[in-house]
Amino acid sequence: MSILIDKDTRLLVQGITGKEGSFHTSQCVAYGANVVAGVTPGKGGQSMDGIPVFNTVQSAVESTGANACLVFVPSPFAADAVMESAAAGLDLVVCITEGIPTHDMLKVGPFLKSRNCRLIGPNCPGVISPGRCKAGIMPGQIHKEGNIGVVSRSGTLTYEVVHQLTQNGLGQSTCIGIGGDPIIGSSFVDILKLFDKDPETQGVVLIGEIGGKDEEAAAAYVKNHFSKPVLGFVAGLTAPPGKRMGHAGAIISGGGETAEEKIEAMRKGGIHMVERLGDLGRAARDLFGDIMS
């Protein structure tokens, strides 16, 4: 098993005819994803490498049976694109777009909850279940099928972590970048709940960063509800307060948001912590060695 996506996922791509959308769609298809449709308003009836393009998500879903969406729509229109997918009945929307205005995202959460649609992102690398499906922009070749779940706020750190896991013989069940914006669709706890129910996932690597309270919430959930081993890393030990570091959400604005405070909370929650990223592969091998695959 895997979480969120698998070989049965029928993927639709919003913004498929744009530069980023067309490139990454071809990469997903090359990896083995079943991309059944694209959506670009005004370009319905065309095709992109044999994939039919529709004017609306609703018409694409009705014609192809798509059940998940990957969004590459420019930031001024991305929130509406996400809500359009939810309105069309899709269960999962993965939004790659960065720079979506915060006031736009404030409308998205309540809309999706009313329609039972899960959002990953925005400003994220997406989701991959190695050997099954890729819905995102991550390099597929560094992944390996296995039993370790990966969830991260950072895209590039996700790639580094996955590479280290693979180099140490640890395959992954599903890898998810939840996004680095202040308002995102799915939290660490949301994803941990899914990993907890997945019998294939036998351990989890959780990658956090400064800013916000998501890591602390994850630590509390692991301590009280999660039975599988968790290895953690928090980026930003040297970040100064009040300065944004990369992601819009990576800014220390209050108590409990520094890397040191997050690391302490995660340790208290029973998460095995690594303070140097270069040590993560070895630490994962030591922690997860008995479930290598």
| Residues annotated as part of the active site | 247
Structure tokens, 29:
């298809």
Name the residue among 4, 9, 185 with its Cα closest to residue 107.
185
* C-alpha radius of gyration, the chain, whole number: 18
Question: What is the rounded CA–CA span in Å between residue 13 and residue 73?
Answer: 9
* Edge-to-edge strand ranges of the sheet holding 126-129: 133-136, 126-129, 172-177, 145-152, 203-209, 230-235, 272-273
Question: What is the rounded CA–CA span in Å between residue 92 and residue 3?
Answer: 11
CB neighbourhood size of 40 (10 A)? 21
Classify 54 as helix, strand or coil. Answer: strand
Question: What is the rounded CA–CA span in Å between residue 250 and residue 78?
Answer: 21
Residue 273 backbone phi and psi in degrees, to 5:
-105, 145
Structure tokens, 189:
């706890």
| Chain centre distance of CA 51 | 24
How many alpha carbons lie under 13 Å from residue 219 in its C-beta half-sphere?
Answer: 23
